[in-house]
Amino acid sequence: MDAIDALNETAFWLERELADSFKVQAFRRAAGIIAELSQEDLAARLKDGRLKRTKGIGSRTYEVISQAVDGRVPDYLENLRRRGAEPLANGGRKLNAELRGDLHSHSNWSDGGSPIDVMADAARILGREYIALTDHSPNLTIANGLSPERLMEQLTVVDGINERYGQEPGFRLLTGIEVDILEGGGLDQSEDLLGQLDVVVASVHSKLRSEKGPMTRRMLAAIENPHTNVLGHCTGRLVKGSRGTRPPSEFDPREVFASCAEHSVAVEINSRPERQDPPDELIQIALDAGCLFSIDSDAHAPGQLDFLQYGAERAEVNGVPAERIVTTWPLARLLEWLQSKQ
């Protein structure tokens, strides 16, 4: 087995089962280190013990590399694969099988951990027909949000990746953004650029503790913006995880979801285990309001693209029909819906 593939695949499965990111990164870093070496050089360094002493190569990564170079699937990876064959979530399997795409993901251009093509490749491994790359907007400086210039540069990179995939059709990387809904309700990117993107996910990331009235008005303004396609993690709550917990923000859900239905903005069911957003009672209100939904991973690393299973489980428990979930739609129908907004 190729040692670089073995290390990257190990990282992928670890991420999927929510391992600590330092552990995941150790495998990716080791992959980067040996990618610099020729096959012969790697074999020689294994043989004379230099590899073991290399900075960035630990005992586990060393074991994976040496077993792969021996021509077999490393034990550690074999175990991870076995665990990975088990579904992540207990419910939602039928709906999960109907999901074709994902409209919310991040690369290392903002606060994700991996290059764009690594994310896209992982999405293809998982059988997606499309995913949208939605890195953060300028206002989110802590997440290295993209300036207009960097976003324009990213569009050409995405074009290049799609061109490469064009040889074997069946997958498309959609351009996009997770744009901050600013305090006044405006979207944090130029109108012109928003109009060029396939997918605009609008999310609140600041002043989450605002009062109900101003928060409702802020969200309504974003939903009415003709560029908005998806309302991202609408309450901003955190229910568990390393960042601690955070209560849902307060807004009038009837007004907000009625506006989503009116303006054909899909309500995101954010699949991240620490978010589980919107809460069940809000999904019901959105259902009653006639909203469309988008089950998204909000993946910040390749292994997290499989989080859709959690979102599918929640959608199924809440009785959301597949037909109302835009990410079950074939690409052509999805594009028609997206383009009807611009």
Residues that bind Zn ion (CB under 5 A): 178, 203, 298
Query: What is d(CA 27, CA 267) in angstroms, rounded to the nearest whole number?
Result: 36
φ, ψ for residue 18 (rounded to 5)?
Answer: 65, 35
Residues 6+ apart with CB under 8 A from 191: 227
Q: Which is nearer to Zn ion, 114 or 203 (CB)?
A: 203
Min CB(233)–Zn ion separation in Å: 6
Min CB(135)–Zn ion separation in Å: 8
Q: Which is nearer to Zn ion, 139 or 162 (CB)?
A: 139
Min CB(296)–Zn ion separation in Å: 8
CA distances from 155 to 121, 175, 196, 198, 237 (A): 17, 7, 9, 10, 31
Residues 6+ apart with CB under 8 A from 106: 112, 133, 134, 135, 136, 178, 298, 299, 300
Min CB(271)–Zn ion separation in Å: 11
Min CB(262)–Zn ion separation in Å: 24
Query: What is d(CA 213, CA 197) in angstroms, rounded to the nearest whole number?
Result: 31
Q: Which is nearer to Zn ion, 30 or 122 (CB)?
A: 122
Min CB(228)–Zn ion separation in Å: 14
Q: Which is nearer to Zn ion, 26 or 202 (CB)?
A: 202
Provide the sign of the torsion angle of the four alpha carbons 314, 320, 321, 327, taken in this order: negative
Query: What is d(CA 143, CA 255) in angstroms, rounded to the nearest whole number?
Result: 30
Q: Which is nearer to Zn ion, 121 or 298 (CB)?
A: 298
Residues 6+ apart with CB under 8 A from 334: 101, 130, 326, 327
Q: Which is nearer to Zn ion, 7 or 179 (CB)?
A: 179
Provide the sign of the torsion angle of the four alpha carbons 141, 143, 147, 149, taken in this order: positive
Query: What is d(CA 297, CA 307) in angstroms, rounded to the nearest whole number?
Result: 5
Q: Which is nearer to Zn ion, 10 or 203 (CB)?
A: 203
Both tokens of 168, joined, read 């074997």
∠ CA 154-159-163 to the nearest 5 degrees? 150
Q: Which is nearer to Zn ion, 9 or 178 (CB)?
A: 178
Q: Amino acid letter at 290?
A: G
Min CB(236)–Zn ion separation in Å: 8
Min CB(143)–Zn ion separation in Å: 8
